[in-house]
Structure 1
Amino acid sequence: MGWPTHIVAAGGYVFDKNGNILIVKTYNRGWDCTGGQIEVGENLEEGVLREILEESGVRASVRCLCGIYSNVSMNTYYDGVTPVPTKVMFDFICDYEDGNLTPSDETSDVIWVPKENVLDYITAPAPRLRFQQILDFSGKVHYCSYVTQPDFKVLSSRYL
């Protein structure tokens, strides 16, 4: 019997003192939040702060956990061949500390957007769902499971 395999990831939704939210343009998903896979030996907060810095040039601090998401699709990587395990993603609201907006090898652009305009940029269904939860955040952590292939479909959604 093998051990189950999951990708553990974290998303960072960084706000500045004026209520603008940081978004990055990715090569595969379009506009999205900063974030990515947690590395071996790294905790969730360290991982999300590292990803924010790597993808945007911004140093941030974690304010709170706001969402947990499971993408249970059985799909393949962008190469169309490599199988991708189930993903568990932890979303954090973060606060801007310092740094200049700087794209990376994973991002082609980094911008601040007024939170009321952010959904004008986010077009993919799963990121859009997650951004909507950030905008609606009232202090309760949202849990949601979904599939992205063959079509995006929410399987469960509730507050914890």
Structure 2
Amino acid sequence: MGWPTHIVAAGGFVFDKKGNILIVKTHNRGWDCTGGQIEVGENLEEGVLREIMEESGVKASVRCLSGVYSNVGQNIYYDGITPVPTKVIFDFICDYEEGELTTSNETSEVIWVPKEKVLEYITSPAGLLRFKNILDFDGKVFYSSYVTQPEFKILSSRCI
């Protein structure tokens, strides 16, 4: 028996002082929050702040943890070959500190959107679930497990 393999990732949902939310256009997932894999030796907050900076040019601060998600599906990466391990994703609500919006090698557009309009941009079912939970956040951390293939299906969902 080998060691369990999970990808640990973090999503940063950055709000400015006007209530706008930062979204980025990714090459594989369309419009999404900033975020990605936590690197070796990095804690969750360092990782999410690094990802926000890398993908958008924005310096942010973490306000609170808002969601934990398990993508337990066994599927193949966008290259059509590589198996993708189970993902555990920690979502954080963050506050804009400073910086000009800048694209990266992972993002083709970076914009501020009024939070009332953000769901019009998000096309992935997992993204919609996570953004809806951010918009409805009442201080209770949300947990959900799901699979994305062959179709998106929520397996469990509750506050923790």
Range into which the TM-score falls when normalised by the shorter chain: over 0.9
Tell me the equivalent position of 1:125: 125
Name the TM-score, length of structure 2 as normaliser.
Answer: 1.00
SS of 2:116's partner is helix
Tell me the equivalent position of 2:115: 115
Does residue 71 of structure 1 match 2:65?
no
Alpha-carbon distance, 1:96 to partner: 0.1
Tell me the equivalent position of 2:87: 87
Distance in 2, Cα, partners of 1:157 & 1:2: 29
Q: Which runs of 5+ in 2 are unaligned?
A: none
| Cα offsets for 1:15-38 (capped at 9, x unmatched) | 000000000000000000000000
Alpha-carbon distance, 1:42 to partner: 0.0
Distance in 2, Cα, partners of 1:59 & 1:71: 28
Name the TM-score, length of structure 1 as normaliser.
Answer: 1.00
Alpha-carbon distance, 1:152 to partner: 0.1
Alpha-carbon distance, 1:102 to partner: 0.2
Aligned residue identity for 1:48: V
Query: What is the percent sequence identity of the aligned residues?
Result: 81
Tell me the equivalent position of 2:155: 155
Distance in 2, Cα, partners of 1:95 & 1:124: 24
SS of 2:31's partner is strand
Alpha-carbon distance, 1:14 to partner: 0.1
Alpha carbon RMSD of aligned pairs, Å? 0.3
Dislocated runs of 4+, deviation >3 Å:
none
| Cα offsets for 1:96-144 (capped at 9, x unmatched) | 0000000000000000000000000001100010000000000000000
